[in-house]
Homo-oligomer: A and B are copies of this chain.
Amino acid sequence: MCLLIEEGYFTAVTISFTSLVASLPASMPFVGPETIERQNGATFEARIGANESAFGVSPVAAKVMKIAVDNLAWYNDPANFDLREALAAHHGVSSAEIAIAAGIDDLLGLTVRAFIDRGETAVASLGAYPTFVYHVHGFGCRMLSAPYVDGKNDLGAILDLARSDDVKVIYLSNPDNPTGTWHSAQEIEVLVAQLPEHCILILDEAYAEFMPDDAIPPVCPIHPRVIRMRTFSKAHGMAGARVGYAICSEEVGTGLDKIRLHFGVNRIAQVGAAASLTDQLFVNAVVKKVAEGRDEYVAVGQELDLPTLPSATNFVTFDAGTPKRADRILESLICNRVFVRKPKVAPLDRYFRVTVGHPDERAVFAERLRAIVREV
């Protein structure tokens, strides 16, 4: 369209984005493995780059999701009622203290929008989760970053940056992505006790299930300025479903509710997540298998003189010694049909990050890595 318009009109038309959106770079937080496969004309033999679970979906969840397919003509419940009730019972909080969205990615955007005004600031580690940074810039806000030290978030430096009045949100993932390292419950509690009054803390606990039990701070009582984010994408093996949730004060939940996409969570995902939550035996088994896989990776690292960082996640971060060597190993692995990722900024850029795959994928990875390390 439009037939009523003269020829040549279309090429002369200009469209005006807001100045903010016009100023943003064309960027994607992550390039998907499918895109790399299309570029390389070859599928990956080991898909161990996005910290997806190699151990699938709970059979209990899979069963109800297949049934839910037949009822997909109905909209999802915009209140996410059943899933919120289930999560509230699971964590011993009220359902008003659970906010559900299409993954932690979605919750991060909502939190930035709710708390950081245009031109105000967020603080995170340099090289922290790119999707958080994407949202901060996308909403016209600024990032301040503290470099990692010895593969860990520098909590003191983060807190120092956050003392400035215009810092509204601190982002911290614990256990950390992309390093896999973690802070103890007590270290997190010290941070929370020192949280400046003008700051919200996003505590991204996507990998919580893989943490040692005593390392996770208790959920109750909920601190009004701490938003803990959890996901069904990792231990529950439902990354493609897009369900994440925040455990937060009722006041925070009410604020997020004013701006969220109310029909944002797929109906199949809603029932699948609630079902998976009942299958803790499955989740425990996944955690155990992941621990075995991590041990295998640590052994491979020792064998090849590539030290590994301690990990409380479903991935292991290898130290290649130099950024150049890490880049070359990454490129070689990808050329050899092993999908892995690596951090891009110093001092993390000498690392590469490998998800615990299923045993076949781990064998492929170890074999290819051995061959590559001989060369580079």
A interface vs B, CB < 8 Å? Answer: 1-5, 10, 13-22, 24-32, 34-35, 38, 47, 50, 52-57, 62, 65-66, 68-79, 81, 102-103, 105-106, 109, 113-118, 131, 138, 168, 188-190, 192-193, 197-198, 200, 217-226, 233, 237-242, 249, 251-252, 254-255, 257-259, 261-269, 272
Contact = CB atoms under 8 A, between A and B. Distances in A.
Contacts of A192: 1-2, 4-5
Chain B CB within 10 Å, residue with most, of A26, A102, A242, A249: A242
Q: How many copies does the complex hold?
A: 2
A73 B102 contact: no
13 contacts: A1-B222, A14-B197, A17-B115, A17-B255, A18-B114, A21-B259, A26-B258, A28-B78, A30-B78, A32-B77, A52-B74, A105-B263, A242-B266
A290 B358 CA distance: 48
Contact of A29 (B105, B249, B262): B262
Contact of A20 (B117, B168, B251): B117
Contacts of A262: 28-30, 105, 131
Given A35-B77, A35-B79, A266-B268, 18 more contacts: A2-B223, A3-B189, A10-B224, A14-B224, A15-B225, A17-B255, A21-B114, A21-B259, A27-B258, A30-B78, A38-B81, A57-B70, A65-B72, A72-B237, A75-B240, A102-B266, A106-B261, A106-B264
